[in-house]
Structure 1
């Protein structure tokens, strides 16, 4: 089965009904897509009330890819609020366990920063994470090219497989060590994950101004039909060895993600079932 969705549900006007307000956005979103990437969890471990609210607002079969808290992946600047790494992981697990119990946790996404390179120290960090998240489906997304060097790539993939980590395949601009190639290889038989960041090389490279402004430029991209055909081939390759493939469009800045996802869905001839009853075809006029 192939699942297609977007990063977040709060910034995709194409999928909202005209009368929709902020409180209805997740319900509207879930009438179009069967999965979503939850990014609020990166900025703060979410209170249980939020998680339970989102569970109740989505169909039974709807699933969340939960992005790990920034302190768990080395992004956090400043002092941690937690007494130890173990406490931080424990609080994160308590936060997301209602999703797991409801059958709505697709996986945890551990996206590492560009400075997380292939070293023994960082490999040991991955082993620590596996111990902390034993029993959870965990996807690892690298952002440093050293993990994919010709003499290292097979070892990287074998390590992920041996530790039951999902290999998060990335499509992103190619700009030196801070970019990784699209390697459409799955490391588990049940789940594969593909994240689509767009291919805006200039935006990816030119970090100017504040972080928020840079992020908006960085993910400003509209995939062409030809590029989506390449993505389709990568998904087909992943699906040939893996039962379920999760695909997330992260090119949100210009509002292209929803349309790109719908276009890919149409190219692949996929009809999602068990969605919320509001589903609308964004290609058709009302």
Structure 2
């Protein structure tokens, strides 16, 4: 199972391209007609009420899946320490039902790998699919990979020019975030680059979630559709 989509959907920059002639209230539904998953970003910035999740569920097809970005209060403010209460509050707010996909925990670039801190954090996570996106070179470590494998947590394979791309598969599913190879959040992926990512994804031979985060100039939905076409081509079925 390979699900490919975008990181978020509320981008005015898409108005004259992908969302042309689509009213803003229909943006989520329109995107969900073309991709099989979307990453919810607003949950990173502030706690979302359950009513928002239920609304998004109602606007998407039955077989659709959302990934949800964990709150920055946990990852950036508290930096994974003493997070029992905010974790409980966050998970109690989720109301996606069968459309609940992985939870993505994006770490700040300044956060270095600390085995004890990460071990304690992973032990607090409830059952389900979780993915961790570190942005510091110190995470390029077998000790880190082994810790994720012990908890069946996916290391997020990230492609960006400003933080390391550490390619490792550590769970029974894989998670990829493509932020723009040359310009962060901006640059589009070439045909050759998309071919290379398609090869990697199929080589992992497991459920995979891929999100394009190169959103600022509207490349994300185009790239997502192009990678989907490569992933479902007759040669790969």
TM-score (norm 2): 0.89
Partner of residue 34, structure 1:
36
Tell me whether 1:136 sits opposite 2:108 in the alignment: no
Superposed CA offset, 1:36-67 (max 9, x none) = 00000000010111111111111111111100
SS at match of 1:88: helix
Aligned residues between the structures: 229
CA contact (8 A) 1:109 1:141 kept: yes
Q: Distance in 2 between matches of 1:95 and 1:55?
A: 14
Q: Distance in 1 between matches of 2:31 and 2:169?
A: 28
Aligned mate of 2:164, from 171, 176, 180: 180
TM-score (norm 1): 0.75
SS at match of 1:26: helix
CA contact (8 A) 2:35 2:224 kept: no
Q: Distance in 2 between matches of 1:270 and 1:105?
A: 27
Partner of residue 5, structure 1:
5
Moved over 4 A (4+): none
CA contact (8 A) 2:18 2:218 kept: no
Unaligned runs of 5+ in 1: 78-83, 204-217, 272-286
SS at match of 1:58: coil
Q: Distance in 2 between matches of 1:88 and 1:188?
A: 25
Tell me whether 1:263 sits opposite 2:226 in the alignment: yes
Tell me whether 1:23 sits opposite 2:64 in the alignment: no
Distance 1:270 1:8, change over 3 A: farther
What displacement does 1:85 show? 2.6
Tell me whether 1:104 sits opposite 2:85 in the alignment: no
Partner of residue 194, structure 1:
176
Partner of residue 225, structure 1:
191
What displacement does 1:266 show? 1.8
Which one has the largest radius of gyration? 1
Q: Distance in 1 between matches of 2:211 and 2:201?
A: 12
CA contact (8 A) 1:75 1:113 kept: no
Aligned mate of 2:112, from 117, 124, 127: 117
What displacement does 1:231 show? 1.1
- Structure 2 counterparts to residues 235-274 of structure 1, below 5 A: 235-238=201-204, 240=205, 242=206, 244-269=207-232
Question: What do you get for the CA RMSD once the two structures are aligned?
Answer: 2.0
